Amino acid sequence: MLIRHPNDIAPSEITPPEIYRERRRFMQGVSALAAGAVLGVSPKAEAGAKLAGVRASAYRLDEERTPYKDVTTYNNFYEFGTGKGDPSENAGSLKTRPWTVEVEGEVAHPKTYDIDALLKLAPLEERVYRMRCVEGWSMVIPWVGFPLNELIRRAAPTGNARYVEFVTLNDPEQMPGLRRRILSWPYLEGLRLDEAMHPLAILAVGLYGEVLPNQNGAPIRLVVPWKYGFKSAKSIVKIRFVEKPPLTTWMAAAPREYGFYSNVNPEVDHPRWSQAKERRIGELSKRDTLMFNGYGAQVAQLYRGMDLQKFF
């Protein structure tokens, strides 16, 4: 199996015609299915199916998008293997219907949502975000989803809720990577409640206007663009509101290397490599890593007064 690394991808593979075709495919899908949404037609569950009723968002970037092919074939998703190409090769075993997401813990309104009910919880938007991996590579991805705070408001957290924990699917029959004890399963992640309420944090159900592919975290995943990618938990089955910081999977595995906050910070190196530079998929030369992945104007106030060398 060929596993492609960022420096193996030639610039010729990212051409204006491909970008044009991806945008054209998205726009065609939105216009064709908007009428279906009005008529109450549910989006199909299969990856590649167009999502209905997707609207444009103010959260956009004037940057070249990473092609669909690379977004869907170069992934970290250890539940399907540790190689970058493993998720796209192995994730066909994941069944995304039926699927439910439990909301529980310190909330006034605990509830179990069917995935199709979640799709109707709030209007779906296209959000074009930078995404930065702790390993040093990055992408620009047009996600489709809705603000996480829409779900939080409906749950009505109690005064004891300080953090939000995300629990992902733990089914070795569907996720062959779980049979290897690489990490402690299920995969757990967490945010402080005010981080989770920030409008940049979304629950994504698609990308490029289509249903989220299995290898990208179907049927629903977290996207937190100012943090390293491993914070954005995939294939979520439970959202739990808690009083104390949850022990996240990577903190449990390597506490010296992975802190709870995991904000993109070029001044705090990973113990085994620098975070000052990154390589955008499709580019040969590296670029400077931006503080908070370039979203400092929106999120820096969340960490005012904190020592970001200590709370990494």
CA-to-CA separations, 154 to 114, 238, 266, 272, in angstroms, rounded: 15, 15, 36, 42
pLDDT the model gives residue 168: 98
Q: What is the CA radius of gyration of the chain?
A: 19
Is 17 inside a domain boundary?
Answer: yes
pLDDT the model gives residue 15: 36
Coil, strand or helix at 244: coil
How many separate domains does the chain show?
A: 1
Is 312 inside a domain boundary?
Answer: no
Is 258 inside a domain boundary?
Answer: yes
Which domain, by its residues, includes 23?
A: 6-303
Is 83 inside a domain boundary?
Answer: yes
d(CA 76, CA 95): 19
- What is the CATH number for 152? 3.90.420.10
Is 40 inside a domain boundary?
Answer: yes
Tens of pLDDT along the chain (312 residues) come to 444 444 443 433 333 334 333 444 444 343 333 333 332 334 456 878 999 999 999 999 999 999 999 999 999 999 999 999 999 999 999 999 999 999 999 999 999 999 999 999 999 999 999 999 999 999 999 999 999 999 999 999 999 999 999 999 999 999 999 999 999 999 999 999 999 999 999 999 999 999 999 999 999 999 999 999 999 999 999 999 999 999 999 999 999 999 999 999 999 999 999 999 999 999 999 999 999 999 999 999 999 999 999 999
Q: Return the amino acid letter for 308.
A: L
The strand ranges marked E within 68-172 are: 100-105, 111-114, 125-132, 137-147, 163-168
Is 207 inside a domain boundary?
Answer: yes
pLDDT the model gives residue 47: 75
Task: Dihedral sign for Cα 260, 264, 265, 266, please.
Answer: positive
Partnered with residue 101 across adjacent β-strands are: 113
pLDDT the model gives residue 48: 80
pLDDT the model gives residue 44: 54
Name the phi and psi angles at 168, rounded to 5: -105, 170
**pTM for the whole structure:** 0.86
Is 308 inside a domain boundary?
Answer: no
Is 39 inside a domain boundary?
Answer: yes
- Alpha helices by DSSP H, the chain: 16-38, 68-73, 86-90, 115-118, 148-155, 193-197, 249-253, 296-299
